Amino acid sequence: MRYSIGDLARRTGLTVKAVRFYSDRGLVPPSERNSAGHRLYDDAALARLDLIRTLRELGLDLATIRRIADGEVAVADVAATHVGALDVQIRVLRLRRAVLAAVAEHGSSPEETSLMNQLAQLSDTERRRLVDDFLSDALGDRPELAGIARTLTPELPGNPASAQVEAWIELAGLAQDPEFRAILRQLADQHEGGLRRDFAAEVRDAVTPALQAGVTPDSPAAAAIVGGLGREPGRLREWLDVVGDPRRERYLELLAVINGWASPESLTPVLDWLAEAVS
């Protein structure tokens, strides 16, 4: 069967101008010409043009398309190469989107925007160095806190989602906050002073039933709960001043997003109740 340029355009969904362009470039050569000198194409040309259209829609350049159409390279090999290139592009776009989303959300200044962009572009080694510096400064060189350090370590995956990149940018900013580092140092000191790592869990388990039952912080029942924690009110208040800082909880929320963990349970209601009970 023979097709005119118009026939090919109608069958492939391309414009006449596009079909003529591919023909002029030798990508779809005519099989013959009619008596008026007009180009005619056969079924092989139709199939070739449909392949060209598909490959162009997938973003391949004309030189590569010519090599595929001429059988010089396999479509699968080219596709594998382009998948790798697209993965890189997608990662870059996710980073850019995350930075812009953070800038839009926080109303960042030009200086803050530049910093967020730098944090997003860090390599795996640079991210690890930033986190190690943060945890070393905050927790110190204490072997007994090595387990805690591991649970506080973000592990951004190789192909992160936009939400994970956004969380990393914010977490990295927190990690460089001197006040937040001081907060973690105080928690580490309290750990050495006898307020064990699981003390927050003890508080949650003791206070949550009281909250659910509507026990007021100024009641005798509340006083009994505080006494059952085994800590002097003064030390409890010191602990609450540190653990109640919203940056601590925010760090854990961001860490969960980055590492793909379940969202941590908020201790704020429990801490607020206990703070009122020991005031």
Question: Is 95 a domain residue?
Answer: no
pLDDT of residue 270: 95
Are 240 and 271 in contact by the 8 Å Cβ rule? The answer is: yes
- Residue 275 pLDDT > 90: yes
- Higher-confidence residue of 104 and 212: namely 212
Both 133 and 261 in a single domain?
yes
- Is the pLDDT at 141 greater than 60? The verdict is yes
Angle between helices 5-12 and 43-57 (to 10 degrees): 50
Q: Which long-range contacts (C-beta less than 8 Å, at least 24 apart) are formed by 121-126?
A: 121/95, 122/172, 124/156
| Cβ atoms < 10 Å from Cβ of 210 | 20
Same domain, 159 and 278: yes
Give how many domains the chain has, as a whole number: 2
Which residue range forms the structural domain that includes residue 14? 5-73
Interacting residues of 111 by C-beta distance below 8 A, sequence separation 6+: none
**86-91 mean pLDDT:** 80
The mean of the pLDDT values for the chain is 88
**Model pLDDT for residues 5-60, shown as the tens digit of each residue:** 999 999 999 999 999 999 999 999 999 998 888 999 999 999 999 999 999 988 88
- CB distance 139 to 180 below 8 Å: no
Do 126 and 264 sit in the same domain of this protein? yes
Q: Which pLDDT value is given to residue 199? A: 84
CB atoms within 10 A of CB 122: 16
Q: Is 56 in the same domain as 127?
A: no
Global pTM? Answer: 0.66
Q: 100 in a domain, yes or no?
A: no
Q: Are residues 225 and 126 in the same domain?
A: yes
Band of pLDDT at residue 165, cut at 50, 70 and 90: confident
CATH label of the domain that carries residue 43: 1.10.1660.10
Structural domain includes residue 150: yes
Indicate whether 50 and 172 sit together in one domain: no
- Model confidence at 190: pLDDT above 80: no
Round to whole Å and give the CA distance between 183 and 168: 20
Distance CA 74, CA 58 (A): 15
